[in-house]
Chain A
Amino acid sequence: RKEVEQDPGPFNVPEGATVAFNCTYSNSASQSFFWYRQDCRKEPKLLMSVYSSGNEDGRFTAQLNRASQYISLLIRDSKLSDSATYLCVVNPQAGNNRKLIWGLGTSLAVNP
């Protein structure tokens, strides 16, 4: 089992749709989790941090399910500008952020 696994997609959704991505992780001791977005040929940018059961920021909601070892990202009312690759990141060690484990990303295309 990969350390961090994401469905690569692509997810093609119309504007205004709600879309959700899942990310599974293998290390049950993992302490913290992040979602980054990466636009084509650009650097990853932090979208959300997830430390407890979940986090919400406007149209974006991240949830953590420790029992099943996955985190999810929900995007409501999708905008064209949400088109990007969404990277799931897991920190397997509390207090040590040097060895983050990065997923390969899920590609989202929001269509007019």
Chain B
Amino acid sequence: SQTIHQWPATLVQPVGSPLSLECTVEGTSNPNLYWYRQAAGRGLQLLFYSVGIGQISSEVPQNLSASRPQDRQFILSSKKLLLSDSGFYLCAWSPSRGLKQETQYFGPGTRLLVL
């Protein structure tokens, strides 16, 4: 079966510091991968998605970036965090083919607080 991991689970960072969040998927190959942010009182906001190694699409211009160095690894980064970057960061995957392509499965998330 497929599993998705994220770390760290929680993070407190000062404004202006860098960020690196990691997501890995097991039990599937060539998944579509997604980074979302969920801020308090707001819906899930798609930040990035990837259909393959090195292929990243950005949905929202901001000070975040994403990379996919391996098939099942997705990294969210920032060079300098802003207060507004605080939130719950969720990584998700979906099959790249088959009947369930439209179904996304989420990792446990990283709760980020920028002070």
Q: A100–B101 contact, CB under 8 A?
A: no
Query: Is B20's CB within 8 Å of the partner chain A?
Result: no
Query: Is A1's CB within 8 Å of the partner chain B?
Result: no
A64 to B90, CA, bound (A): 28
> CB within 8 Å of A: which of B80-115?
88, 90, 94, 101-109, 111
Select one of A32, A104, A105 contacting B102, CB under 8 A: A32
Q: A97-B94, A98-B32, A102-B43 are in contact. Are A46 and B105 (CB under 8 A)?
A: yes
Q: B109–A42 contact, CB under 8 A?
A: yes
Residues of B within 8 A of A (CB): 32, 34, 41-44, 46, 49, 57, 59, 88, 90, 94, 101-109, 111
A2 to B64, CA, bound (A): 26
Q: A49–B107 contact, CB under 8 A?
A: no
Q: A102–B44 contact, CB under 8 A?
A: yes
Residues of A within 8 A of B (CB): 4, 32, 34, 41-46, 49, 87, 91, 95, 97-100, 102-105
A104 to B38, CA, bound (A): 10
Select one of B49, B101, B103, B107 contacting A46, CB under 8 A: B103
Q: A43–B109 contact, CB under 8 A?
A: yes
Select one of A46, A99, A103 contacting B46, CB under 8 A: A99
Q: B90–A34 contact, CB under 8 A?
A: no
Select one of A42, A98, A100, A104 contacting B108, CB under 8 A: A42
Residues in A whose Cβ lies below 8 Å from that of B103: 34, 46, 49, 97
In the assembled complex, 24 residue pairs joining A and B whose CB atoms fall closer than 8 Å, in A order, are A4-B43, A32-B102, A41-B111, A42-B108, A42-B109, A43-B108, A43-B109, A44-B44, A44-B90, A49-B102, A49-B103, A87-B44, A91-B102, A95-B101, A97-B94, A97-B104, A98-B32, A98-B46, A100-B102, A100-B104, A104-B41, A104-B42, A104-B43, A105-B43
Q: B42–A98 contact, CB under 8 A?
A: no
